[in-house]
Amino acid sequence: MAGKTPTVGRFRRVWRLVTAVAVLLTGPFLALCMPLYSKKGREGAVRWWFRRIARAFGVRIEVHGGEILREYAEADRGALVASNHISWLDIVAVNAVQPMRAQAKKELAGWPIIGKLATSARTVYLDRENLRSLPGAVDELMKAMRGGSLVNVSPEGTTWCGLANGRFRPAMFQAAIDADVPVIPFVLRYRLEDGRDTTAPAFIGDETLVTSLRRTARTRGLVLEVHVLEPIEPSTARNRRELAAITQTAVRDVLSRTQTLPEFEHPKLAVS
């Protein structure tokens, strides 16, 4: 029916979840093989693995401007890749386009399999309940980017449904200024094949990961649309707050041009 989110049958849902678990279980074996690969080989393997996770859930990734990240990675040029934050699928999108280091909440380290892989990928964890850990995280990100690494951050600080957005917090942008590297805006949009935005993959509030996984698995025709925008040099801004605001505006401009109002599939966003 028009306006409703299309879903797959029960068998397809179960098959997707089983396939996703099978792909996840190959992760530790892939990690063991990493020392045998060249830098390009490691990136290719990680990109393949995350694309397989997306495919297992029936998600099609559509990328616009991905060559920008590849050019930086091939040249070993550091940059802060700042993305809006909607779902656990965000990390899949980033690494399916270009594997890179990331800053993430400390809880991710405890996630089955993915947590161990994130740690082995030198993820910088931040305790959001302890502000005293922030300077150390910023310093670690700065050193990584100065050394030529791409680093992904979600400056909104928490997930949003994709229709609403949070303010880009400026703290992590100080790392880009200190390292004298650009910020690359990375825009995520979840939609259906007919072009309507969907809140189905949103992972917010006190919802469990399992609930979000099941809702994603039952959605038919889910498209994860990625826009990699032109780099923003730190010299463009007077300080980290202005750099964060410029990046936020760039991300919002893309979303305002592409978003269409959907039905609310997410129970926490439903209206009576």
Q: What was the pLDDT predicted at 161? A: 43
Please give the C-alpha separations between residue 105 and each of 186, 208, 256, in angstroms, as whole numbers: 19, 16, 28
Distance in angstroms (rounded) separating the CA atoms of residues 179 and 144: 9
Tell me, yes or no, whether 251 lies in a domain: yes
Tell me, yes or no, whether 44 lies in a domain: yes
Tell me, yes or no, whether 87 lies in a domain: yes
Tell me, yes or no, whether 118 lies in a domain: yes
Tell me, yes or no, whether 91 lies in a domain: yes
Tell me, yes or no, whether 180 lies in a domain: yes
Q: What was the pLDDT predicted at 266? A: 59
Tell me, yes or no, whether 153 lies in a domain: yes
Domain count, the chain: 1
Provide the pairing of β-strand 222-228 with 59-64: parallel
Tell me, yes or no, whether 200 lies in a domain: yes
pLDDT (tens digit, 9 = 90+) per residue, 182-218? 999 999 999 999 889 998 888 876 778 888 899 999 9
CATH number of the domain to which 35 belongs: 3.40.1130
Domain carrying residue 195: 10-258
Positions of the chain with pLDDT lower than 70, given as ranges: 1-3, 111-113, 127-131, 133, 157-166, 205, 261-272
Distance in angstroms (rounded) separating the CA atoms of residues 53 and 42: 17
User: Residue 259: which residues within 8 A CB-CB, separation 6 or more?
Assistant: 163, 189, 197
Q: What was the pLDDT predicted at 131? A: 62
Distance in angstroms (rounded) separating the CA atoms of residues 244 and 233: 12
